[in-house]
Amino acid sequence: MSFLTKVKSLWGAEGSARGPFYGQGENGGWYELGPIEDGYQRNLDMPSGNGRQIPAAYASVMANARAVSQCPPQHLRKLADGKTEIVESSPAANIFRSPNPYETFAQFILNMIAQQGFDGNAYALVTRDDVGRVLRLDRLDTGTCQPYIDDGELYYSVGNQPFIADGIQYLVPAREVLHLRVLTPRHVLIGESPIKAAALAAGVNVALARSQAVFFSQMSRPSGVLSSDMPLNKDQLQSLREAWSQQSQRMAQGHVPILSGNLKFQPMGITSQDAQLMEAQRFSVEQIAMCYGVPLPVIGDLSNSTLSNAETLVSLWLSISLGSLLENVEQSLTKTFELPASDRINFDVAGLLRTDFLTRIDGLTRAVQGGLFSPNEARAREGLHPVEDGDRVIVQQQMVPLGFNANNQSDPVAPPSNEERSVVDISEFKKWLNHG
């Protein structure tokens, strides 16, 4: 028996089923193939970076993270008279100034939101004092944390290998961990990144980008060709090639080549196949941004946008995704700080219009004229000092009822009689005569 026959005998008789068969995709993923599949149908896979290596996914995640870090957090308290004040001296206010010795809060929340966008979860260890007040927040690696339920109580593991019992350094109660998570389809406490929904679009994006890289590095085409109606022999072609090579090296310095002998230079443009590849890649970018709920102009795609109104774009963004993200963070922080029902954490979205001076000032002006803000409240939002009598809420008095009294009397004033009107008219006439 030959060696080949012995090897075949290990998997059964010739012609019998020996599956399953596996094929490897362009991105390194292995797939089980059916009896009539060639591996082309399912050769796309997510890269190992899980979205961090895909420009569209990275831009979408970082757009949300940067936007949240631009909104300054505030500890608000509702008073008995219905007014709301900003609490400046509280554990929450102290954390908003410095969550730990090595990070600002803007850096802390940017990394937390980015980690949540890429991995679906973000964890921070809460350190408290003897009376339970929060002293600091320290970010944790998502690979070192795992929720556990023991006797009906929720705990989180903190260690190098949470899936191995010996690798867990210690367990902490749920109140000692700030856990931000997105959609939790498989486990109520474990979120999954939106990139999971865009896995196919991300695989297409990566495959097209990799194909383009290979094409331009190994099969790149020239920018143009030289053509002539005259027949050229081998020596003439070689001489022409050397002369053009010498001249083209100096074209980057502004030199203009001169063609003779009825030579013509024909530049090569983008073919229809290349345009279709570019359109397919752009479509995958749209799908990724759609899964993250980020408008295309926010991630730099200005093909169908003029950006004439930044407030409209921010309002759209807040309504479709960013508002929900901010609300999730606000409620998670409110729960972590164990605030009473009268207190809450609020991120001021006015920070998103920080660079749009015209829209910001127009909004404050309308708020003052409409009686929503006092002049000093509007000035405080712009970092300006208060002015005298600026704490009173004012309103324009353009439309008033007939007979309205300027002395704030609600009853209409009776019109003057003929005798009173004549006295007024005569006195005014005398003043006019004296002045003349």
User: What residues does each domain of the chain span?
Assistant: 356-431
Q: DSSP of 407-421, one letter per residue?
A: TS--SPPPPP-HHHH
Q: What pLDDT score was predicted for residue 298? A: 83
**335-341, long-range: CB < 8 A, 24+ apart:** 336/126, 336/134, 336/175, 336/178, 337/91, 337/92, 337/95, 337/134, 338/132, 338/175, 339/75, 339/92
pLDDT at 122: 94
Cα–Cα distance measured from residue 182 to residue 172, given in angstroms and rounded to the nearest whole number: 22
In the chain, the amino acid numbered 13 is A
3-state SS assignment for residue 267: strand
CA distance 300 to 288: 13
Give 231's DSSP letter: -
Q: Which residue type occupies 334?
A: T
CA distances from 230 to 115, 237, 256, 262 (A): 65, 11, 23, 8
Could you give the CA distance from residue 272 to residue 357 in angstroms, rounded to a whole number?
44
Give the C-alpha separation, 179 to 174, whole Å.
Answer: 9
Walk along the chain (436 residues) and give the pLDDT tens digit of each residue. Answer: 555 555 455 455 544 555 555 555 544 455 555 554 444 444 444 544 567 778 888 888 999 999 999 999 999 999 988 888 999 999 999 999 999 999 999 999 999 999 999 988 999 999 999 999 999 999 988 888 888 888 888 999 887 655 555 666 788 899 999 999 988 888 888 888 887 776 666 666 656 566 555 555 544 455 666 667 677 777 777 777 777 676 666 655 555 566 666 667 666 555 555 555 556 667 777 878 888 888 888 887 777 666 566 667 778 888 888 889 999 999 999 999 999 999 999 998 877 777 667 777 888 888 888 888 888 888 887 778 888 888 888 877 666 666 666 565 555 555 556 555 555 555 655 565 565 5
Q: Output the six-digit token pair for 397.
A: 């008095």
What residue type is assigned to position 344 of the chain?
R
pLDDT of residue 218: 47
Whole-number CA gyration radius for the chain: 36
SS3 295: coil
Peptide bond into 20 cis (omega under 30): yes
DSSP states of 366-389: HHHHTTSS-HHHHHHHTTPPP-TT
Contact 186, 33 (CB under 8 A): no
Q: Which residue's entry shows tokens 């030959």?
A: 2
3-state secondary structure of 262: coil
Q: Indicate the pairing of strand 73-78 with strand 343-347.
A: antiparallel
What's the number of CA atoms in the CB half-sphere (13 Å) around residue 286? 9
List the structure tokens of 120: 């679906």
**Among 71, 73, 62, 120, which Cα is nearest to 99's?**
73
